[in-house]
Structure 1
Amino acid sequence: MKYKHLFFDLDHTLWDFETNEQETLLELYNSHNLADRGVPSFEAFSVSYVGHNERLWDRFRKGFITRKDLRDKRFRLTLLDFRIGDEVLTQRLCEGFLQILPYKKALFPHTKETLEYLAGKGYPMHMITNGFEETQLLKMKNAEIDHYFTHIITSEMAGSLKPYREIFDFAMAKAGTNASESIMIGDALELDIKGAHSVGMDQVYFNPAKPAVDFQPTYVINGLHELRDIL
């Protein structure tokens, strides 16, 4: 086998973040009666939250804000879009989101079958994720995929975030391997694919909605089942 160790991303690659996030936000919208508080629709609430969350995650990855800033501000700013300045409600939404989301179980098609196939071929598999450690471990456990992975490397554990080389170096050291024997499977071109490339690791780009236009990954797949043609 050309590759001796496989490294996966979690969110948007195996764990269906969009589906799970939307289900969580809908529960919060209904349970906190946000329609009665001036939020005209769930769609408006979701669009506002997702926009703020993506911008804040970008700032967090670049080191401009803390984890607490990220967790608090995304709901505070969302409510302010609807002229709601309620700190108690902000904290309840923040806490509720973190309590509900990790228990959602939606995975991308063919996730478990693919992991089972790769495990059957004897590949040691590892996770490299920028998510918060407690949340990511719960997601994997509740989705019943944690047992496939030998090492689960989070940005908190590594003290670094993708795409920086430190988290990839940390993960390879943990797994006892090197870049030439490893391959990274992920959906984020900048974080997973270019990050792995920067340390000399081959990559599988999984993101059919966003084709790579300025960079040529080692492999491109439109579905996880296509990993069988590579590994």
Structure 2
Amino acid sequence: MKIEHVFFDLDHTLWDFEKNSDLAFQKIFTEQNITIDIDSFLYVYKPLNREFWRLYREEKISKEDLRYQRLKTAFDKINFSVSDKLINKIAIYYIDYLPHFNHLFNYTFDILDYLKEKYRLHIITNGFEEIQTKKMKSSNILNYFENVITSESVGVKKPNPKVFHHALKLANATANSSIMIGDSIEADIKGALNIGMEVLHCNFENEMIQTKDFNSIKSLIEIKQYL
């Protein structure tokens, strides 16, 4: 069947999470007079954040634990003493500041302008409910999408098939008329494949991929080769 619906992930796919996150931390560290090298902190924090997000996605930790533990563990690893009060303050400020930085990946507007003339566009994201729409408003991409489906609104997270089925129902779409585009092989690609959707993997880090079960792109503009 012909593709009619394009579902995008948001963070690490359209919205440049790493760049925006770095800027949010720089602002917080400056305001709170946290006297450690920001690059040293981020070097330790980023892989920890990915691991805690994996645990959160697998329902092994709560949202509150994710927010606290990723910071606490990072500070502990660089031997920087910080109170729970300050950690909780940083966690709150981070969520407040993050959506106000609006860097997108190259060609985001080009590809959305191209796709909107041919397809109905939607977002499926595991990101926190309270900030995903803010991110999209701040970066001026919200108006491209008919539906923004967050895992919190469904009650489970990608790759759980319930998220994808809910998104398809909301969009009045079928799996075989839809494609999922995202960066996470586990959450986006395998999750969508498991319910019969077409997929396109965003491999902007040019990582080695062991399977040929799906196509990958290194830039958003390459989507034109498939749609």
TM interval, shorter chain, is over 0.9
2:66 match: secondary structure: helix
Superposition pairs of residues 167-206 of structure 1, within 5 angstroms: 167-206=163-202
Q: Which residue of 2 aligns with 1:156?
A: 152
State the number of aligned residues: 225
Q: Which residue of 1 aligns with 2:90?
A: 93
Given that 1:186 and 1:193 are in contact with CA atoms closer than 8 Å, whether structure 2 keeps it comes out as yes
CA gap 1:210/1:137 in 2 versus in 1, 3 angstroms: same
2:146 match: secondary structure: strand
Q: Which residue of 1 aligns with 2:4?
A: 4
Looking at structure 2, the residues matched to 229 and 52 of structure 1 have their Cα atoms a distance apart, in angstroms, of 35
Which stretch of structure 1 is more off in the superposition, 219-228 or 173-182?
219-228
Looking at structure 2, the residues matched to 2 and 214 of structure 1 have their Cα atoms a distance apart, in angstroms, of 25
Identity, in percent, stands at: 37
Q: How much has 1:178 moved relative to structure 2? A: 1.0
Given that 1:79 and 1:90 are in contact with CA atoms closer than 8 Å, whether structure 2 keeps it comes out as no
Letter in 2 for 1:20: N
Which stretch of structure 1 is more off in the superposition, 63-72 or 79-88?
79-88
Which stretch of structure 1 is more off in the superposition, 79-88 or 15-24?
79-88
Q: How much has 1:230 moved relative to structure 2? A: 1.7
Q: How much has 1:91 moved relative to structure 2? A: 1.5
Looking at structure 2, the residues matched to 134 and 172 of structure 1 have their Cα atoms a distance apart, in angstroms, of 22
Letter in 2 for 1:23: L
CA gap 1:3/1:45 in 2 versus in 1, 3 angstroms: same
Which stretch of structure 1 is more off in the superposition, 174-183 or 204-213?
204-213
Letter in 1 for 2:87: T
TM-score, scaled to structure 1: 0.92
Q: How much has 1:52 moved relative to structure 2? A: 2.5
Given that 1:189 and 1:212 are in contact with CA atoms closer than 8 Å, whether structure 2 keeps it comes out as no
Looking at structure 2, the residues matched to 85 and 31 of structure 1 have their Cα atoms a distance apart, in angstroms, of 15
Looking at structure 1, the residues matched to 2 and 208 of structure 2 have their Cα atoms a distance apart, in angstroms, of 26
Q: How big is the alpha-carbon RMSD for the aligned residues of Structure 1 and Structure 2?
A: 1.4
Q: Which residue of 1 aligns with 2:33?
A: 33
Letter in 1 for 2:152: E
Q: Are 1:55 and 2:71 counterparts?
A: no
1:34 match: secondary structure: coil
Looking at structure 2, the residues matched to 222 and 194 of structure 1 have their Cα atoms a distance apart, in angstroms, of 19
1:204 match: secondary structure: strand
Q: Which residue of 1 aligns with 2:123?
A: 127
- Deviation digits for residues 37-70 of structure 1 (CA, Å, limit 9, x no counterpart): xx3x111111222232222111111111111111
Superposition pairs of residues 98-117 of structure 1, within 5 angstroms: 98-117=95-114
Looking at structure 2, the residues matched to 54 and 207 of structure 1 have their Cα atoms a distance apart, in angstroms, of 16
- Deviation digits for residues 155-198 of structure 1 (CA, Å, limit 9, x no counterpart): 00111111111101110011111111000111111111111110
Letter in 2 for 1:96: Y
Q: How much has 1:83 moved relative to structure 2? A: 4.0
2:158 match: secondary structure: coil
Q: Are 1:19 and 2:15 counterparts?
A: no
Looking at structure 2, the residues matched to 196 and 182 of structure 1 have their Cα atoms a distance apart, in angstroms, of 9
CA gap 1:230/1:57 in 2 versus in 1, 3 angstroms: same
